[in-house]
């Protein structure tokens, strides 16, 4: 008993701030390198969400400067709607304070702890208060706050507050100083690049030390702000139902229709019947047992999926493609937005994209870009359901090699948008394995795999045709010459083979002994009315026949002949020069012509 | 077959390939050639000749893609090159041909491996060994010592050589073209092919060849083509027993197998290169036990190789099953020279006479 008394003296409530002070990893502050990314991520999330709500095109400025030994000053400034002065201390100086926590819609930040956690981390490591400047409109003055958090009580500690002369009409600027390193600079830029891909309407200007980067917007359209919806009867937990009931003044039937998404009078009545309750009883007075029965009945009645069009905000196939194109040079990009779906009463939507070739690294695992509600997931790739789904797809079926993950010059983007993204942990790095979500991801990837396969086979076919042309036009004549020499017979004519194999209009360019010869042979079976474009450093002054016109751009001469080549006939031009450059035939469909440079 | 006959056969076969292409092109067809598939899945045991040969699987190479067309072009250049060699009665090594191809522009080889492979292709199609193309490997065959007389057509004229009386103590060096050798006569009862030079020298020094009328052939490890061809010709021309004497380890059994049954790489030539009548003399695993020879422990790789041999059709008989299983049980291997532990004359005075009479040779 004495011991219990002793212990009782030590027992007291713990403030949220105190709790997180001891559990920084839960907020993504487990290492100084991660701290920078987490802080910028939280500030940028807030900025983008705010701009969306105010329907402005986000223009976000980010700066990181070293101010002392291991101390970095991070500034994030947006052109959003600003925060009213009365709210500023709470948004930045109180953990678990936010406007979006109670709403059911797709938002970037969900729990309202991110940016205040950075303030807490700053005061723990550098002791410098966080500076917030905010202005809500042209008629309002800007306010400047210096804020910290009272750790024992989790209340804001306003060190100073004053009016401020700010050239911005509206927006928010946060300046935080804490202990960190810039060893994760590459990762940070990667985070910003990925963020700009899935937020193609936003512009990011970045200053790191003395370097600056801009991730430009590719869309001028303000994205629609998702609207909050009522909870869905299938997704609600008992505790939440109990709280809603306690706060309600309505009768049961109205409570169900008004308070929940997609519940009509008919299904509400069905729920009442199943629970053995009258629709006319006051909800407030229901006992726990009654509420339990009601909760069970709600799960048992078929209700349409929650309306996703208003609470979710997918990026869209076109904008994903444009976003990717902007940041990666690839030969092929395809994107899919899947129809919305539901897990545990939460709406979600999967979007995916696949890119191939171009400047992607030709070897090694595919580059994977994971997103949740337009926020890049930068850590714990291996633990994420998205990675699992990518590995589970049989990529070999789409002619892509695979060692778990697909291998080669491939980029895969997956975006999961939901009113409640199921993360594996508080630090929101990886999406949990929810069968409904996994199914949608796999379907999207398979769909894209088919697109990629088509692209690859088309490309291979073109390559094969090109290869064939080269064989027929360059190697077979050489083979004919050698074979004729061996058997000591007259040179065998190989143009019938060309005709047989090609059935096309063939243009050949070759250079021998200082003479350039261009031949156009028509195996197509009908008149070829064409223009021959020959672009090189040769001016072709002595060309026979003469070009129809010649243009000269800084020593690059474009020679054009307009000719009609009858079937089975050869048109030929010769001039003295060094060859090289490019030959093109226009006026005929791509699949009916073939251009071969015999000098290559 | 005499050298002239072989030259004529080569020329005819090569011109046939070129003529076929010429005719195909003249008819407006894309030139092509058909080749046996050269993988271990297309190797079959031929009961009649008792050697391993390529099966029926063939692949057609047509000049319809740049890669195949280039392959045919290279083949045409090689045919032209060989034709010239035959006309001028010159020869070159495989490596020399590879360097000569430098001047063939689009038809030049990327690596010597590629040109070697193409020569093998030509051997298969024409059924003429590369010696018929006047192409030979850089290294010579091994040496031979014993009571036999040959005539070799050399660059300096025809030479008659007795392989005991007319040679130094290292023996007669097998030339890379055995086709130029005429087998005149012999006074031998059998041939022993030896894996190591040490044992070859020991037998010569102890006068084993004279005492038992034996022809000794040094294999130099895995035997070269010309060495295998030499054994094949001695065996077929004079109908002498051929005995293979190697170390007592799994790799040496493979040397025996390549002498007796042929190798996958030269399966198209097995009839010329393999000596199906060759018998394994030793060193047998049971010898290690019976003579209590100094030995080494089998390594993991050795055991792996032994197990692979248990499933190899070339070793699928009771003798080898018994010996290999015995070796795995003992976990030991020995070298030929291990007999020296019983004295320098032990192998010639005791072991070989005993083993050869057990085999019914003497």
Edge-first strand order for the sheet with A556-565 is A549-553, A556-565, A528-536, A582-586
ipTM computed for the complex: 0.70
What is the Cα Rg of chain B in Å?
Answer: 23
Q: What's the pLDDT score for residue A487? A: 92
Q: How confident is the model at residue A232 (pLDDT cuts 50, 70, 90)?
A: confident
Mean pLDDT computed over A499-505: 76
pLDDT at residue B345, rounded to an integer: 92
**Residue B312: pLDDT over 60:** yes
Rounded Cα distance between A551 and A560, Å, is: 9
Band of the pLDDT at A109, cuts 50, 70, 90? Answer: low
Q: Which residue has the higher pLDDT, B116 or A309?
A: B116
Does B185 lie at the interface with A, CB-CB under 8 angstroms? no
Helix (H) or strand (E) holding A518: strand A515-522
| A249 vs A110, more confident | A249
A-chain CB neighbours of B30 within 8 Å are: 472, 476, 497, 500-501
The distance of B85 to chain A (nearest Cα, Å) reads: 13
Q: Which residues pair with B158 in a beta bridge?
A: B153
The answer to whether the CB atoms of A486 and B70 lie below 8 A apart is: no
Nearest-Cα residue of chain A relative to residue B105? A478
Helices (DSSP H) in B285-330: which residue ranges? 285-290, 300-310, 318-330
Q: B319 at the A interface (CB within 8 A)?
A: no
**Contact check, Cβ <8 Å, B63/A471:** yes
Residue A120 has pLDDT above 80, yes or no: yes
pLDDT at position B39 over 70: no
- Cβ-Cβ contacts under 8 Å, A479 against chain B: 21, 25, 31, 63, 69, 72-73, 76
- pLDDT at position A101, please? 57
Q: Quick one: pLDDT at residue A378? A: 86
Give catalytic status of residue B54 as yes or no.
Answer: no
What's the confidence (pLDDT) of residue B76? Answer: 95
B74: nearest CA partner in chain A: A479
- Predicted local confidence at residue A206, as pLDDT: 92
Question: Would you state the pLDDT for residue B50?
Answer: 67
Res. A520: pLDDT tops 60: yes
Cβ distance B76 to A479 less than 8 Å, yes or no, reads yes
Residue range A176-204, pLDDT digits in tens: 998 888 887 888 889 999 999 989 899 99
Determine contact, residues A158/A145, Cβ cutoff 8 Å: yes
Q: Is the pLDDT reported for residue A112 higher than 60? A: no
What local confidence, expressed as pLDDT, does residue A438 receive?
94
Q: Which of B25, B77, B83 sits opposite A480 (nearest CB)?
A: B25
Share of chain B above pLDDT 90, in %: 54
Q: What is the pLDDT of residues A442-476, one digit of tens each?
A: 999 999 999 999 999 888 887 777 777 777 778 88
Q: Please give the mean pLDDT across all residues of chain A.
A: 85
The pLDDT value given to residue A595: 82
* Model pLDDT, residue A61: 95
**Cβ-nearest to B76 among A464, A472, A486:** A486
Q: What is the mean pLDDT of chain B?
A: 88
Q: Which residue has the higher pLDDT, A371 or B5?
A: A371
3-class DSSP state for residue A526? Answer: coil
What is the tens place of the pLDDT at every residue in B255-266?
Answer: 999 899 877 677
Question: Is it the case that residue B188 has pLDDT exceeding 90?
Answer: yes
Rounded CA gap, A36 and A62, in Å? 12
The catalytically annotated residue of B41, B54, B99, B212 is B99
Distance from CA of B87 to the nearest CA of A (A): 12
Q: Is the pLDDT of residue B114 over 80?
A: yes
Q: What integer is the mean pLDDT of A300-311? A: 78
Average pLDDT of the segment spanning A348-355:
94
pLDDT of residue A113: 57
Residue whose token pair is 């996958």? B264
Q: What are the residues of chain A with a beta carbon less than 8 Å away from any beta carbon of chain B?
A: 464, 467-468, 470-472, 474-476, 478-480, 482-487, 489, 492-494, 496-497, 500-501
Which structure tokens are listed for A487? Answer: 């058997």
* Contact yes or no for A232/A298 (Cβ under 8 A): no
Per-residue pLDDT, averaged over B311-326, amounts to: 89
**What pLDDT does A226 receive?**
77
CA distance to partner chain B, nearest, from residue A463 (Å): 10
């Amino acid at each position: 008993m004495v011991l219990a008394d002793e212990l009782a003296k030590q027992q007291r409530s713990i403030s949220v701030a105190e709790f997180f002070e001891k559990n920084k990893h839960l907020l993504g502050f487990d290492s100084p390198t991660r701290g920078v990314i987490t802080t910028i991520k939280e500030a940028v999330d807030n900025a983008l969400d705010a701009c969306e709500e105010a329907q402005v095109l986000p223009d976000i400025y980010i700066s990181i400067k070293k101010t002392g030994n291991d101390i970095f000053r991070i500034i994030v400034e947006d052109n959003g709607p600003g925060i009213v002065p009365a709210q500023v201390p709470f948004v930045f100086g109180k953990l678990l304070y936010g406007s979006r926590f109670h709403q059911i819609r797709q938002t970037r930040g969900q729990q309202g702890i991110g940016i205040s956690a950075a303030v807490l981390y700053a005061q723990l490591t550098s002791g410098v208060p966080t500076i917030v400047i905010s202005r809500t409109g042209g008629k309002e003055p800007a306010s400047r706050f210096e804020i910290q958090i009272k750790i024992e009580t989790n209340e804001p500690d306003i060190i100073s507050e004053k009016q401020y002369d700010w050239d911005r009409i509206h927006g928010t600027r946060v300046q935080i100083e804490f202990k960190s390193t810039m060893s994760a600079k590459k990762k940070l830029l990667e985070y910003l690049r990925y963020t700009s891909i899935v937020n193609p309407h936003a512009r990011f200007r970045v200053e790191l030390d003395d370097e600056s980067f801009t991730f430009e917007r590719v869309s001028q359209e303000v994205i629609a702000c998702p609207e909050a919806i009522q909870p869905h009867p299938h997704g609600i937990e008992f505790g939440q139902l109990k709280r809603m009931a306690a706060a309600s003044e309505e009768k049961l039937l109205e409570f169900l229709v008004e308070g929940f998404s997609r519940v009509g009078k008919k299904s509400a009545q069905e729920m009442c019947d199943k629970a053995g309750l009258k629709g006319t009883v006051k909800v407030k007075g229901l006992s726990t047992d009654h509420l339990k029965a009601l909760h069970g009945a709600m799960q048992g009645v078929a209700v349409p999926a929650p309306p996703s069009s208003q609470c979710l905000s997918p990026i869209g196939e076109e904008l994903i493609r444009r976003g990717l194109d902007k940041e990666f040079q690839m030969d092929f990009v395809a994107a899919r937005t899947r129809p919305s779906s539901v897990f545990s009463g939460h709406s979600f939507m999967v979007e995916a994209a696949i890119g191939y070739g171009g400047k992607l690294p030709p070897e090694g695992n595919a580059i994977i870009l994971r997103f949740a509600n337009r926020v890049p997931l930068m850590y714990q790739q291996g633990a994420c359901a998205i990675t699992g789904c990518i590995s589970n797809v049989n990529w070999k079926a789409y002619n892509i090699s695979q060692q778990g993950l697909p291998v080669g010059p491939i980029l895969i983007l997956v975006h999961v948008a939901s009113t409640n993204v199921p993360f594996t942990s508080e630090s929101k790095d990886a999406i949990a394995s929810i069968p409904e979500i996994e199914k949608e991801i796999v379907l999207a990837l398979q769909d894209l795999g088919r697109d990629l396969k088509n692209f690859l086979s088309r490309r291979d076919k073109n390559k094969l045709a090109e290869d064939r042309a080269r064989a027929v036009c360059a190697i077979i004549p050489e083979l004919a010459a050698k074979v004729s020499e061996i058997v000591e017979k007259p040179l065998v004519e190989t143009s019938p083979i060309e005709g047989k194999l090609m059935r096309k209009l063939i243009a050949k360019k070759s250079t021998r002994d200082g003479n350039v010869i261009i031949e156009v042979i028509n195996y197509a079976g009908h008149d070829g009315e064409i223009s021959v474009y020959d672009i090189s450093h040769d001016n072709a002054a002595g060309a026979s026949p003469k070009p129809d016109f010649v243009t000269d751009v800084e020593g690059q001469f474009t020679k054009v002949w307009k000719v009609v080549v009858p079937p089975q006939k050869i048109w030929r031009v010769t001039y003295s020069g060094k060859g090289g450059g490019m030959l093109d035939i226009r006026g005929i469909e791509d699949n009916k012509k073939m251009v071969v440079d015999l000098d290559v | 077959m005499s050298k002239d006959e072989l030259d004529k056969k080569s020329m005819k076969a090569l011109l046939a390939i070129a003529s076929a292409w010429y005719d195909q092109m003249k008819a407006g067809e894309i030139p092509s050639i058909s080749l046996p598939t050269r993988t271990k899945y297309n190797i079959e045991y031929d009961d009649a000749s008792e050697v391993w040969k390529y099966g029926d699987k063939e692949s057609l190479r047509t000049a319809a893609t740049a890669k195949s067309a280039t392959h045919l072009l290279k083949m045409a250049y090689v045919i032209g090159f060989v034709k010239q060699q035959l006309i001028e009665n010159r020869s070159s090594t495989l490596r020399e041909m590879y360097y000569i191809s430098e001047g063939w522009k689009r038809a030049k080889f990327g690596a010597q491996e590629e040109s070697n492979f193409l020569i093998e292709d030509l051997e298969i199609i024409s059924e003429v060994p590369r010696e018929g193309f006047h192409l030979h490997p850089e290294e010579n065959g091994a040496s031979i010592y014993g009571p036999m007389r040959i005539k070799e057509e050399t660059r300096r004229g025809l030479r008659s050589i007795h392989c005991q009386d007319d040679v130094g103590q290292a023996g007669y060096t097998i030339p890379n073209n055995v086709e130029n050798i005429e087998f005149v006569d012999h006074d031998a009862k059998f041939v022993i092919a030896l894996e190591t030079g040490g044992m070859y020298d020991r037998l010569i020094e102890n006068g084993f060849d004279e005492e038992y009328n034996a022809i000794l052939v040094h294999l130099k490890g895995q035997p070269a083509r010309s060495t295998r061809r030499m054994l094949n010709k001695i065996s077929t021309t004079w109908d002498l027993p051929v005995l293979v004497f190697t170390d007592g380890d799994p790799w040496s059994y493979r040397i025996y197998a390549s002498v007796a049954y042929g190798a996958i790489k030269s399966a198209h030539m097995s009839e010329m290169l393999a000596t199906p009548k060759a018998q394994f003399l030793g060193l047998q695993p049971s010898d290690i036990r019976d003579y209590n020879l100094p030995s080494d422990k089998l390594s993991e790789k050795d055991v792996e190789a032994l197990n692979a041999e248990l499933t190899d059709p070339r070793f699928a008989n009771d003798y080898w099953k018994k010996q290999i299983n015995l070796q795995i049980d003992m976990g030991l291997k020995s070298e030929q020279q291990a007999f020296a532990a019983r004295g320098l004359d032990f192998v010639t005075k005791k072991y070989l006479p005993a083993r050869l009479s057990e085999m019914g040779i003497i």
